[in-house]
Structure 1
Amino acid sequence: MFDGVEELDCIAPYEVFSAAAVHNAGGVEVRYVTTGQPRLIRCGYGTGIRVKHRWAPHEADLLVVPGGGYKRREGPGIWAEIDKGTLPRALAAAPRSGLTISSLCTGAVLLSAAGLTKGRPCTTHHGAKAYVEEQGGVIKNARVVDDGDLVTAGGITSGLELGLWLVRRELGSDVATGVETMLEYEARGTVWQAS
């Protein structure tokens, strides 16, 4: 989480994963985290979200990097995070066996700044595809792109698909179907998956 994050980018997958905890006997722990001190994060449209946990990728099985602020070069958002460098450096150091790093919307721009999309199949918001491709990402025209330990999703609402795909992949079809029923939402669009 970072100031300027798009509300739906972080809330949609958070809700999907939280709902998965209801349908999975082993439970699921979901946290908002930030690379700085835990604090109130101010989202792109003004919503405040209190983040209580610090960045700890060694404790996670999955990281979701949201986007926000792509069209605003000034002010909070992904460009400010890239300029600061803290989040891209943290992302670059995060990969390890057993960890899946994912993004949605322009969160893929942050992954690109960390060098994580270079030479890898990925996707992002339609307005940022050319940028991510210029940075070495191999853009696939799909709602969700699963390249094993790197899973990316398209624009803002694709956070629901990202969450549901990862729930299906990690916890099984029964859990994913239960979450879809609970949310009254059926996953849509294509998932491109590496063979």
Structure 2
Amino acid sequence: MQSVQIVLFDGFDLLDAIAPYEVFCAAEMLAGGVMNVEFVTAEGPRLVPSGINGLKIEASGKLNPERAGIIVVPGASGEVQGNGPQSIPAILARAMNTALTGMMQQALKQPDIIVATVCGGSLLLAMGGLLEGRTAVTHHMGMDVLGATGVIPVAARVVDDGNLISGGGVTSGLDVALYLVEHELGPRIAHAVEQLFEFERRGTVWQRTGIAPRAHQESADENGETDRMDTKKTATSGVTFHNPATTSSVFDGDWDTTIATPVGKLQVKLSITTSNGIIQGKATQGNETVDFLNPVVQDNKLLWSLKITKPMRLNLKFEVETEGEDMTGIAKAGILPASKLTGKKVI
């Protein structure tokens, strides 16, 4: 019997979870009981409030990350604007900081488990650092953020990356589940479910197979060559300022900064130096220190990128300015609301 575990967490999106549940239940009925479908949580059986007016769904079991079959991870429902506690990034981050991330990391290592995500479900896993370097899709509003986590975003309705199947918007849960039914039980059962629901799967399922479109090949070659040239240039020459004494030196020193994010405040120490017109920097959070990527001064502001792992894995872009011993600025990833940075120079 094929096991299907649909994971619930506080603030999950109802349709992300219910649509696959109905598809798999219909397939179970039409195929003569060859599937077992249940709602689970990382904590065990409980009533789980959704993000749609707090409507609760009962999970009957605890997620088993070693049980062969399919695990479905939905996204969240919440505020799409702002960075408050009920915003979608904040809800996803809270779920990421539970035992769910460790369980899903374990599940992704199992050869007989397929992990499927719907809408923001891929972001939930990506924010936990589980999908770096893999191809996936999420809701169109979150594609930039998905890319900022190190995932290769693909603008398709459904993306097949081996044991990871991801769907785009909210209603893509129907497409993901029907694709998996066809994959596991065959096209006749999938077709019968389509007829029952009067719904046909949308779009071509993207896979990293076959001949790549010519335009994409040329673009990749050009971008790759450009990236190699830029990397070489940065590595050999750094960033040169026309007047480092009046421009870059105002950023030099150690800074104690605070970044106010949707999931809490981060305390980060910045160490910035300039030598022969070349600016360098390091950021320390806890016991982890990482180098600034491509620091540059523009219009009296210091810009750089930084890979962080806490509270989630993201590639952040920073933009700061100073006035005396004070530093202010922003840190931003994709279309997520910018997080405010404030800091004081360490004397």
TM-score by length of 2: 0.54
Of 21, 38, 41, the residue aligned with 1:34 is 41
Q: Please state whether the residue corresponding to 2:166 is helix, strand or coil.
A: strand
CA distance in 1 between counterparts of 2:107 and 2:132 reads: 16
SS at match of 2:66: helix
* Structure 2 unmatched runs, 5+: 1-7, 210-347
Q: 2:85 aligns with which of 71, 74, 78?
A: 74
Q: Which amino acid aligns with 1:190?
A: T
TM-score calculated relative to the size of structure 1: 0.93
Q: Deviations over 1:78-114 (max 9, x none)?
A: 12212x3422122112221111111010011111023
Q: What is the letter of the counterpart of residue 156 of structure 1? A: V
Instruction: Describe the SS at the equivalent of 2:57.
Output: strand
Q: Larger helix proportion, structure 1 or 2? A: 1
Give the structure 2 partner of residue 187 of structure 1: 201
Does 2:21 align with 1:14? yes
Code of the aligned partner of 1:74: P
Give the counterpart of 2:9 among 2, 6, 9. Answer: 2
> Could you tell me which residue of structure 1 aligns to residue 169 of structure 2?
155
- Alpha-carbon contact 2:66-2:106 (below 8 Å) kept: no
2:106 is aligned to 93
8 A contact 2:75–2:120 mirrored in 1: yes
**Which residue of structure 2 lines up, in the alignment, with residue 125 of structure 1?**
139
Structure whose residues are more often strand by fraction = 2
Q: Indicate conservation of the 8 Å contact 2:69/2:113, yes or no.
A: yes
1:3-48 residue CA offsets vs partner (Å, 9 max, x unmatched) = 1000000000010011111222451110111001311011111221
Matched letter for residue 162 of structure 1: V
Q: Secondary structure at the match of 2:36?
A: coil
Shift of 1:184: 1.2
Q: What CA distance in whole angstroms lies between the structure 2 residues aligned with 1:151 and 1:120?
A: 11
Whether 1:61 aligns to 2:72 is no
> Could you tell me whether the CA contact under 8 Å between 1:64 and 1:104 is conserved in 2?
yes
Q: CA deviation at 1:73?
A: 4.5
What is the alpha-carbon distance in structure 1 between the residues aligned to residue 127 and residue 103 of structure 2? Answer: 11
Structure 1: gaps spanning 5 or more residues: none
Percent identical: 39
On the 8 A contact 1:61/1:99 being kept in 2, the answer is yes
Q: Is the 8 A contact 1:41 1:51 kept in 2?
A: yes
Q: Which residue of 1 aligns with 2:55?
A: 47
Cα distance in structure 2, aligned partners of 1:138 and 1:16 = 28
Alignment partners' CA distance in 1, 2:65 and 2:39:
12
Distance 1:26 1:41, change over 3 A: closer
Aligned residue pairs, count = 194
Structure label with greater radius of gyration: 2
